[in-house]
Structure formats: C-alpha cells, structure tokens
Structure 1
Amino acid sequence: MKKNFMYTLLLMLCSFSIFNAQTTEDKKEISIAVTDILKGFQTKNGDIMNQYVNPTYGVGVLFKSGGDLGFVLNEDVNLNMSLGYIQKVWNIRNQSPIQFDTAFEYDLNNKKWKKEGLSVQFNSNAVNAYANKFLSQYSVKDQKIFKINSNPKNVVFVTLAENSKENAPINGFRFVMTKIDGKWFLTFIDVTEHDAE
C-alpha cells in the first residue's frame, strides 16, 4: 500500500513538472514574441512584426465604427494600412514588464486605462467573445482566422495599457496571439477601444 502511494505521488509530481515545463516554454516564447511585436509597432517596423504572422491565416484588425464591431483581414502587418484617425497619433512607450494572467480595464467614459502595465492572459476567450458581438449578417465564425482561435487554450490576449495625455484617447496597444502547429503567431490587432465615431 505504501509503495502504491509513493508511485502515485511520484507520477503526480512528474506530470506536474511536465505541465510546468510546457507552460514555462510557452511563457518564454510568448515573452520574446510580445517584446518583438511591441518593438516593431513602437518603431513602426512591420518586418519585425511580420515574422509572427502566419502566411496561411494572416492578421485581422478588429475595430469599431459607429458602435458596430468590424474587422479586416490582411496578409501581413503593413503599418501604412488604414487605421484611420488612430494612426496619426498612436505612439507607445512600452516600458512595462510583462505580467502574466493580469487583466487591465479600459474606462470608456474617461478614455483611459484604470491601471497601466503589460498583461498577457493565457487561455483567452477574447476572439470567441468578439465573434459573438458581430452583427448576425456577418458569419465571422466560419472564417479560418476565427476558427483557429476557437479553442481558448491556444489563445493569449496581450494588453499594453498606457495612458498619455497628448495622445488621448489613443492609449496602449492590444493584440491576440494563437498557437498554430506548436508556434505562437500574431492573429489579431485590437483597436476596438477607439470608436471611429
């Protein structure tokens, strides 16, 4: 009986170690990718960001216009792509360390983040939540870019929450990364905090 207990305990410890090793590896890969993506956006260097764009799925930009959710799908990140009024004043400092599994909330009324920082949320259901908010005439859930994000275990949601008086209401940067064939890719850029109207 004592022997069985020891084997069970040993098996549990080994399983836990393997799980932690995978999570540690994911954190390492994501940390590098997040740093690169933010650096690419900060320096307006699309080439840095595009090394994280999957050529099969591309990258979607989620936005709001007149209160309605919309998105455009691009083959890659082109920093000359139309982000309308946002593009002219959008700058980031990117000086915060990564905090895993911390959420930052945006105050739409005051057009600023309640707390600043850089957050990476594992097991994110963000893309499914977006898909549910589209008007019924848009069948976004059938599109490949949404389908690959349907399993939250393969999705992380990154938020760089920064408040800037001179750039308000354009503060920070949000994006989604998805694990595809064992590698993390940039799949969505989220500009939904900033309604065009």
Structure 2
Amino acid sequence: MRRLYIILFVTAIIFTACNQGNKQNQKSTSDTTANVVPSTPQEIQSISEVITRFVRGYASKDNSKVNQLIHPDLGLTVIYRPGAMDTFVKTDSIDFNSPVPDYYAYPELENEYALTFEKLPVFSCDTEKWDKQGFICDTTAHPQQLTQIALFENEFNDAAYSKETLEEIKKNGNASFRVIVTSEEPLVFHVQSYQGKWYVTVLDRAYAGCDA
C-alpha cells in the first residue's frame, strides 16, 4: 500500500510539472505574438514609416525604394489568382517592368489618404465597393491568407507544403499585419516584424478581384 501511495504521489508531481510547462509554453507563444503589436510612440513611428515609404515607392514605381523594405531572408510573397482560386509565389524583389504574374502589370496607384490604424475595409463583389475608404493598417489581427491558401492546396496535393513549411508560414503571419489602400486600383500588402525592424513581406494582388 505504501508503495502505491508513493507511485501516485510521483505521478501527481510529474503531471503538475507537465501542466506548468505547457502553461509556460503557451504563455511564451502568446507573449511572442503580443510583443509584435506596436505600443510605444517609437514602435508606431517605425511601422508607420515602413508602410508609408512602401506606398510612396509603389505609387512612383521606384524599384529601389520598395526593395529597400524587403529583407533578403524573408523575400516577397505575391498572392495572385490565375483561375478560380488564389495561389502565391515567392520572389526576392519587385521589378515594376517585370510584374508577378507576368500577365498582370502593376497598375497606377493614387493615394489621397493618411495612414490610420483600425479595422480593415472589406470589398464586396456584389456591389463592387468597399465598406469604407482609407489607407489602413489593422494591428488587432494577424493575416493568415498564406496559411489558408497552402492548406487548401494541400487538400489536392499532399506534397505541396510540408508540415515544417506550414508552421513557418503561420509563424510569419503571426508576426505580420495587413495594410489596404482603397484606391481605384487597390494596394494590399503585409508588413512583418523581423529582428526588431519592419519589412514588407506579402503583396496581395488577388484581393478585391472579382473576375473568377
């Protein structure tokens, strides 16, 4: 009987330790994501500067200016819609004379709005209108468009994206925010926190397209 009590006691200790470890891991993951959100004036200025610089460079179609905001370790992932469904491809830079995809030239961009931080506008294909206008970044949600596309493609091709690749895509999404400029030809992109700085990592050329 004494031996049974000892076994139960040891089991309880191990179970408690495992629970504490899991809670610490969950807290660590939560803290890592939470720390991405800019909260100080300096952090807000940092992300604002990168966002506005990219929009200005994109509007002037200046390869040098926009590519300064793309980190070589992260590259630039372009979302596009070749048919009924979205897909994406990764590149290392933007060349306004060689668009991605090659059949879809980069349009002229006119932005008359100042950057604000709030819930993103939504485009309706029924009305072909945005529910609100602006130059907006949402820092309350992390975009997971790439994860959703990759998971969908894996349903048809099991080898499309490995588990490790999916985890990396999701991790990058958790460190990112989405930006939308509701111009006549909208601009949609993501910025990601990496090594203490912000970079443009995703260009979404599919959203607000209702052709399919």
Paired residues of 1:155 and 1:178 also in contact (CA < 8 A): yes
> Which 4+ residue blocks in structure 1 deviate beyond 6 angstroms?
none
Superposition pairs for residues 1-197 of structure 1, below 5 Å? 22-79=39-96, 80-87=98-105, 90-122=107-139, 123-127=141-145, 128-136=147-155, 137=157, 138-139=160-161, 142-143=164-165, 147=168, 149-150=170-171, 153-162=174-183, 164=184, 171-193=185-207, 194=209, 197=212
- Which protein has the larger Cα radius of gyration, Structure 1 or Structure 2? 2
* CA-to-aligned-CA distance 1:82-126 (integer Å, 9 cap, x gap): 3355426x2221111111122100112333323210111124133
Higher strand share: 1
Using the aligned pairs only, state the percent identity: 19
Q: Which consecutive unaligned segments of at least 5 residues does structure 1 have? A: 1-18, 165-170
Quickly say closer, same or farther: Cα 1:114–1:141, change in 2 above 3 A.
farther
Query: Where does residue 13 of structure 1 map in the other structure?
Result: none
Three-state SS of the structure 1 residue aligned to 2:171 is coil
Query: Where does residue 14 of structure 1 map in the other structure?
Result: none
Q: Distance in 1 between matches of 2:133 and 2:56?
A: 18
TM-score by length of 1: 0.74
Q: Which moved more, 1:187-196 or 1:175-184?
A: 187-196
Paired residues of 1:131 and 1:141 also in contact (CA < 8 A): no
TM-score by length of 2: 0.69
Q: Which consecutive unaligned segments of at least 5 residues does structure 2 have? A: 1-34
